[in-house]
Structure 1
Amino acid sequence: MPRGARRGDGARRGGRGARSNAKVESQASDDDAASEVLSHCSSASESTSVAEEVPGGEVVDEQAQQEEVEDKLKECIDNVMDKSAKTRQLALESLRLAFSSKTLFDFLLERKGEEQSLAATVLTLLCLQMGSGPEGEEVFRSLKPLLITILTDSSASPIARQSCATALGMCCYIAAADMEDLVSCLACLEGIFGTSCSTDASLVPSHHSPQLQNLHCSALQSWSLLLTICPSTQIKKILDSHLPTLPLMLSSDNVNLRIVAGETIALLFELARDTEEDFFYEDTDLLCTKLKALATDSNKYRAKTDRRKQRSIFRDVLHFIEVVYLLLPNEECHEETIKFGLECMYVDSWARRRMYNAFKEALGSGVRHHLQNNELLREIFGLGPPLVLDAAAIKASKISRFEKLKENG
């Protein structure tokens, strides 16, 4: 089931007047906090704040207030990538408060593609930081319509749509609290990559643009991530509707789309095996023939690095599907060991591989730090509470460069 928790019934108790007053007070508190934090993100310390009055006693006009807030929001978005941890923290906090106010729909829709893309990336990090509790759920519910609007807008910037596809999948994975959210996100993502695996020739362009192929790739990655939290009843429906068509994507002229399609097919076979003991796919022979061709591809018109990457991954995919088809026991996908601090984690299934790669893409080089300290990631990967180490243990765990060379020598 999706991660996240519903709010308790206690939040709905009390008279209508009490709820109304509490809501007004909460909104005012959030707005004040947002204004205060946003002011820290602006280098113009003397500028007028959102709630201030000009010296003459006249309230700053609404348009000027809105422009000032938008300028500060743009600066905060830029500061998310700042080298200073304090600056990044202030920027994320101000964006969290601003997003919670639910007044930024038009602002984000009107941003340029690069800004929309960065905003979607920030939303992903925001959900990841806030976790699967009520706060994360609230952020996801508030901005889900915006992500879907940009993602499904064919006139929007391709890079913005691609980032929204990634953000929708990650935020739904982290913070969705019910099946309705999960199913709607799956359907939205299916609608994006669907033309790349449609059986209707009239719906498939003879050649998708590279930007559209990248969008389909991101949508398929997000879709496959959400498969890892689908209940068995939903998996059975997906197997029936998508397993016959996904192999069509293996013929794409985009190497990344071919690879993601192959990994997704392997994931579906893994989920099918876990869901149905007597799982049988009648076109397995034809599928294995396609996979074998990709695993041994030596076409010179493909880049050498692309051929090497493709052959390596499709060898793993082919081997796994043959194992499932032949019902061989104790065979899993290629195992990868991820080391962080004094711990290590084994990526030993296609589901864990998709999950780890999704967080690695979102966090970059910070993924190991989050595996050590982020309770959400540790819960997802079954790592338990973060380890508490004293200084002596940390020092003992570090090996000098000279000692490493001596050991390897």
Structure 2
Amino acid sequence: SLKPKSLRHHGNVQPFSDEDASIETLSHCSSFSDATSVADEGGEASEDAAQEDFQYKLKGFIDSTVDKSAKTRQGALDGLKTAMATRILYEFISERRMTITDSIERCLKKGKGEEQRAAASLACLLCIQLGSGIESEEVLKTLKPIFRNILADGSANIQARQAVATSLGLCTLVAEDDILDVHATMECFENLFTRSYARADGTCPSVSPQTSQLHTNALLSWALLLTICTASQVKDILRKHLPKLPRLLESEDVNMRIAAGETIALLFELARDMDAEFEFDSWDELCDKLNALATDCNKHRAKTDKRKQRSVFRDVLKAVEEGDFQSETIRFGTERMTIDSWVRKRTYDAFREFVGSGMNYHLQANEFIRDVFELGPPMLVDSATMKAMKISRFERHLHNSAAFKARTKARSKFRDKRVDVGEF
């Protein structure tokens, strides 16, 4: 298998609202299995009714994806997206996979910008729900030619191309079963982002902000697929791309500079994993460039852009100079996970982009995502545990507010001291 062990394994409908989502998102247990359990006595009947009502709503969305009105189709796609981002719907979706795939295909081919964007995102969420295996492979087989056409077509809607650049990356990570096809898809992305390279004389090609966003999305998807490449592929890419990628650090677009910096850090990490003594010819020059971006005080740049950029490039510089990674802990339910490498960060950020605030829920309940991050099978959460978690959450809130008061007091004392000493 090409993947590392961690990756094997009616009418005008209103978009699905977060309020609707919370009916079940809060009651995790009912999504872990088809058996529903509710903390309240006698709540099971109403829970079943809510479940039925919810499925009826979803069927309505699926029917509405073929409506004559573009606005209705758009609302239906958004409704399905929100539902898939906030709940585990494997059984429901599995039975209707081909119908949903057909709808996505039709909206991608016949829809305009926003509708195509929503359809591309829905394709990704469909693969995330189905996980790695024959079902998601079938989805990708159907949609990949359309994705690639939109991506390569300079006259296609730019929003659609931006969305496809992101979706094709994650769909490939989840569902591609052939390493050569992964490579071919990476080449589609290379054809885009390499157009933003600064020229040999240091001048940057003039690229519109919308096109720059397309190139940035393509670069991030390319970096995501780097994480599942074989060692020999990584060696080829290092030889071919590492000398040129620093040219993207000259870009006028802050998001492109950041994406390029993080991709360079990821490549150094992969290179050192294969060879601890890895050396890069233009290392000093690269470190100077990264250092300049980490301390950027260019007057022409917006303050928020500079702040965001400086923080990222301090981490990138550490990665390139010392092989360090600033690790971060993600807490979800009663569990926690550490993002301790650029590979993990790129993978986590890619999933998070699609499931958004549903990420913690998917980390708890989605077997495929748990597999990717090596979290083991989902831990079943029963009503008693949910109650206990709610109590501890309230106690934690009290503790946090007490700690906050204590910190504020300590700080104000410190401020008084500073005034007395007069050194500052």
Superposition TM-score, scaled by structure 2 size? 0.74
Amino acid at match of 2:376: G
Partner of 2:61: 41
Q: Which stretch shifts more, 259-268 or 388-397?
A: 388-397
Runs of 4+ in 1 over 4 A off after TM superposition: 3-6, 36-39, 66-75, 81-95, 103-107, 198-202
| Distance apart, 1:152 and its partner CA | 0.9
The answer as to 2:300 corresponding to 1:301 is yes
Cα distance in 2 between the residues matched to 1:86 and 1:261: 31
What SS is found at the alignment partner of 1:307?
helix
What SS is found at the alignment partner of 2:362?
helix
Contact 2:101 2:123 in 1 (8 A): no
Cα distance in 1 between the residues matched to 2:140 and 2:83: 27
Amino acid at match of 2:238: L
Cα distance in 1 between the residues matched to 2:150 and 2:310: 35
The answer as to 2:398 corresponding to 1:402 is yes
Cα 1:98–1:71 shift into 2, 3 Å: farther
Cα distance in 2 between the residues matched to 1:123 and 1:98: 12
Cα distance in 1 between the residues matched to 2:127 and 2:82: 19
| Distance apart, 1:404 and its partner CA | 3.7
Q: Which stretch shifts more, 68-77 or 383-392?
A: 68-77
Partner of 1:260: 259
Structure 2: gaps (5+ residues): 10-55, 407-424
What SS is found at the alignment partner of 2:329?
strand
User: Which of the residues 334, 337, 345 maps onto 1:353?
Assistant: 345
Cα distance in 2 between the residues matched to 1:270 and 1:88: 33
1:356-376 deviation line (CA, Å, top 9, x unaligned): 111111111111100111111
| Distance apart, 1:344 and its partner CA | 1.0
Cα distance in 2 between the residues matched to 1:113 and 1:156: 9
Cα 1:93–1:69 shift into 2, 3 Å: farther
Q: Percent identity?
A: 44
Cα 1:290–1:5 shift into 2, 3 Å: closer
Amino acid at match of 1:337: T
What SS is found at the alignment partner of 1:154?
coil
Partner of 2:229: 230
| Distance apart, 1:393 and its partner CA | 2.7
Cα 1:274–1:43 shift into 2, 3 Å: closer
What SS is found at the alignment partner of 1:360?
helix
Partner of 2:275: 276
Partner of 1:115: 115
1:58-207 matched pairs, under 5 angstroms: 76-80=76-80, 96-101=97-102, 105=105, 108-197=108-197, 206-207=205-206
Contact 1:38 1:72 in 2 (8 A): no
What SS is found at the alignment partner of 1:399?
helix
Cα 1:229–1:147 shift into 2, 3 Å: same
Partner of 1:341: 333
What SS is found at the alignment partner of 1:233?
helix
| Distance apart, 1:207 and its partner CA | 1.6
| Distance apart, 1:277 and its partner CA | 3.3
| Distance apart, 1:158 and its partner CA | 1.1
| Distance apart, 1:5 and its partner CA | 7.2
1:231-250 matched pairs, under 5 angstroms: 231-250=230-249
Cα distance in 1 between the residues matched to 2:347 and 2:330: 13
| Distance apart, 1:205 and its partner CA | 6.3
Cα 1:365–1:39 shift into 2, 3 Å: closer
What SS is found at the alignment partner of 2:300?
coil
Cα distance in 2 between the residues matched to 1:303 and 1:351: 30
Cα 1:278–1:68 shift into 2, 3 Å: same
Cα distance in 1 between the residues matched to 2:275 and 2:379: 38
Contact 1:337 1:344 in 2 (8 A): yes
Which one scores higher on RCO, CA 8 angstroms, separation ≥ 6? 2
| Distance apart, 1:96 and its partner CA | 3.2
Cα distance in 2 between the residues matched to 1:79 and 1:342: 29
| Distance apart, 1:405 and its partner CA | 2.4
| Distance apart, 1:319 and its partner CA | 1.2
| Distance apart, 1:154 and its partner CA | 0.6
CA RMSD of aligned residues (A): 3.3
Cα 1:257–1:389 shift into 2, 3 Å: same
Partner of 2:379: 387
| Distance apart, 1:286 and its partner CA | 0.3
Contact 2:88 2:366 in 1 (8 A): no
Amino acid at match of 2:207: H
What SS is found at the alignment partner of 1:346?
strand
The answer as to 2:367 corresponding to 1:370 is no
1:345-390 deviation line (CA, Å, top 9, x unaligned): 1111111110111111111111110011111111101111111233
| Distance apart, 1:395 and its partner CA | 2.5
1:36-83 deviation line (CA, Å, top 9, x unaligned): 999733899xxxxxxxxxxxxxxxxxxxxx876999855532432568
Cα 1:185–1:81 shift into 2, 3 Å: closer
Cα distance in 1 between the residues matched to 2:268 and 2:217: 21
| Distance apart, 1:317 and its partner CA | 0.7
